[in-house]
Structure 1
């Protein structure tokens, strides 16, 4: 059968005095080279996207990370300047796609901003500047020009026994590259915590009543998906779920 296709919601970026719809290459490459999937990049629009028309044409949803944050108004909080930058078009695109993908049983992998969008889409809240909280490590990306150094695998997450992730990563500690200054605060009722950082930060979730693969991770498996065994295992599991769904449609 032809290689299945996943939708990746884009961000809005400013270059050369104009707006661009963009997705980092590392997500497209991971989908292609580790999951064996093609990608459609979905324009970020505050209005005009129709989730079902988009999802009719794809076999999975990959919700990528971003330098922007979900707007606090979407989880009942007051926005502060320090909570930004924001991308309302990305919010308006991703959150409806997440909800409809879950309702339709379309496989979904949500990464970094994606796990935060998943939590907000299902009624959870986020915490900002978590490195300022007592006992919480500094999870922020190092401010260095070398991306391999910035995305280096540098901490463990603890995968819960019997969890969805344990089925293909194994339970217990797994080394990852978790880079963020926001994290899940109140977990949405439909989400199960799959993994924690050693400081207690939520690092992975799954959707309890999902009809198919529906996992969110706070770290960046896409960056090392070709060379790091746990990162590749996650993308391979997602790819297999997408192929099963595509075959069921055929």
Structure 2
């Protein structure tokens, strides 16, 4: 169950996930349900940055989708507290492929302006002004506003996706492998953009990632998932530099080191 709450004071977390469980129905008659998330609990501080890491199938994306309201939990609670400012939707999500979330026939500026008018109730002049501000915040300008999604690079489209998410003034921004498909240089630009947004606002970040280098750069705390359960959590530097769980060490050992070259398999 997802619920909103008003904070008792300014120090409580913006997000509390308590004993979250998500089961998917059996694929065939007589089969058993698949447990994707099992007894997961964590908190995210207001303005904080938390990473959820693990290999494919660990349950990290399902956890994020439940927090975002895109999946219904089987049991457990997700509580989001308001910081006392107007919020249209307290949780927004940015996906790995931004192109899928953009209307291919609508110009970037028009899409943002329509979103602001429909979801935020802004008049045309106010929506246009806010659109220009949002694009500037993510490093784009009026030239980009007049383009279609296919006319932008992957990094520019991801900036637009971030602007769309910020338009609704969320308390929490979930980034699901949001830089995984970008070139390394573009990754760095987007990560710098996100750091700047965090410094200028109180929005909290929930990063879902398999890239431990990214996690180290942009998060304060980290939790490691395996087979739907949390096996380790703590400050990012502590978890990555002094792992306590063997699985966390396996993830670290799997990161290619300097000079690594793939081996050619014999046929």
Please, what TM-score do these two structures have when normalized by structure 1? 0.29
Q: More relative contact order in 1 or in 2 (CA 8 Å, sep 6+)? A: 2
Please, what TM-score do these two structures have when normalized by structure 2? 0.28
Which structure has more helix as a fraction of its residues? 2
